[in-house]
Structures are given as C-alpha cells and as structure tokens.
Structure 1
C-alpha cells in the first residue's frame, strides 16, 4: 500500500495538469469573440457554429456549422455551407469559401469581406455590395436571418 507521502506528488501533479488544461479551455475565445478581435461584428456568422480553428500566425480559419444555413438579409438571400474557410486579418476576410449570395437566379460565392470604418463591403469578384456594420451586431439565425421575432409573432 502506498504511503500518503508518495501519493502527494501524484495528486499535486494531477491538480496542476487539470488546472492548466481548464485555463487553456477557458482562454479560448468563441468564434464570435475571435471575429471581434479582428474588428468584425459577430453577425457575419449565423448562430449555431459547432467548432472552429484559427491559425493566429497565418490567419487561416475554418468554421463548422451543423448543417447548411440559408436566410435573407436586406433583400439578399445568403447561403452558408456547413464548412466555411478563408483567411482573416484586421478588417479583412479573404479567400473566403462556403458563403454565397443569390443574384437574380444564380448563387455567386462571396470571396472577400472588408471593413472600412462603419461599412462592410461584400465582394463576389468584380462586384460588391456595402452595408452598415450596425446591421450585423447580432448573429442571424438559419431560416429567418435577423427577423426571427416577426416570424414567431406572425
């Protein structure tokens, strides 16, 4: 049988390991907090993100949703695939994959989002559309976007 003196170092080591692991988990920001760290509003991503990875050195990221997600914003139909990826830096999302907008009857990929002061510009290549950053203060919900309350009360 082990003596209390021989168990004590094991218990202290286990406690330190548990504490450092718990602190590392607690310090990992949510994907929405990570967006804000790069000066973007949380509303660029819908609710329901299941996981994400971010390489802080390169800015490469990948975001996972439980399923594809569609909703309308300011007259535009948006579609998010279950995996979204790209490169993030302060005020700029580039090489974006997994987000598209319906233009007339076809879906076109949004490839870049930039923030210029209080404006967000969404680019599909040669065309872009600008929106006030305040429109994205909250995350949209799949199916109803930012206007879910009117659907629930209607």
Structure 2
C-alpha cells in the first residue's frame, strides 16, 4: 500500500493537472488584479475601501478610477466618525493621491461632508473634505472595514446554540 501511494504521488499524470491549475490561478491574479490590489499599486492600503467591491474600472492613462459596491455602505470608525460609501465611488488615482473623489462621505458632528481627496504622506493618510483635512496613521487602514459594523464585526456576531444531532 505504501508503494502505491509513492507511485501515484510522483506520477506525471497527477502532477501535470496540478501545475495547470496553479498556473491558471497565477495568471488570473496577474492579469486581473482586484480593486484593493490596484490601490496598493498606487501606494494606498486596502482598508480605504470596504469589503464587498464587486468591480472596478481604471484608465491607466488618465487615472480615472471607479469602484462598485452592491449598494450603499455605512459604518462607524473609532466610535466618532460615521462613513458612508455610495454604490459607485469615483476619483482620479495617481501615486499616493486620490483626488476628485465622489461617493464617500463622513459625518462630522451633525453634518455629512464629502471626502474629496486622500493623500498618502509617509506614515499618514490625509483625508480632505475641501475646507479642512484630517490625518490618520496608515496602519489604521490595513484591514478592510465591513458594511454595517466597520472593524468591530466580531462584537456583532451571534453564535447559534449547539444541539446534538442537528445540522444548520
């Protein structure tokens, strides 16, 4: 039995399909990066977009960028800011800068303000609402927030009771 396993493991018929599958995954990742990977290529952390981007478009000549979500997305950040993403987010993307941003708003006190520009400067991201801006550490954006709960989704998860011999 042991020699049969060794022979199957080294068989070219076993290895060849595995190599084809692995190379197709590598091709897909290289050929079609996700919106999060595109942001990283331009110097931004993946956490400036929430989980759930369904697609994107990028004109590499002009930098015109659009990202698409299933719908409007909102969540709180650090219990002091409420963010809202429209189903379509647009802007002009260049190295370490996202300008002419549309589709992202922040609630400050009682007012909703559109975030119009994000600049990556050293260890900080600067978010501008036109008349004012605020800086935040880049490492605050290493994780992608989730619609509805932001980065605090573990607190909202519910656990089903465990009953023997029952499937869910």
Taking structure 2 as the reference length, the TM-score comes to: 0.75
Q: How many residues align?
A: 134
Alignment of 1:32-43 (within 5 A): 32-43=36-47
Q: Distance in 2 between matches of 1:25 and 1:101?
A: 33
SS at match of 1:88: strand
Deviations 1:69-112 (A, max 9, x none): 00011221000000000001111000000000011112110000
Structure 1 runs (4+) deviating above 4 angstroms are 23-26
Q: 2:152 aligns with which of 135, 147, 150?
A: 147
Taking structure 1 as the reference length, the TM-score comes to: 0.82
| Alignment root-mean-square deviation, CA | 2.0
SS at match of 1:100: strand
Q: Distance in 1 between matches of 2:62 and 2:113?
A: 26
Q: Distance in 2 between matches of 1:51 and 1:37?
A: 17
Q: Distance in 1 between matches of 2:132 and 2:55?
A: 31
1:137 aligns with 2:142: yes
TM-aligned CA distance change 1:116 to 1:88, over 3 Å: same
Q: Distance in 2 between matches of 1:31 and 1:46?
A: 11
Alignment of 1:44-63 (within 5 A): 44-63=48-67
Larger Rg: 2
Query: Per chain length, whose mean CA-contact separation is higher, i.e. which structure has more relative contact order (CA < 8 Å, sep 6+)?
Result: 1
Q: 1:115 aligns with which of 120, 127, 144?
A: 120
Partner of 1:84: 89
SS at match of 1:32: helix
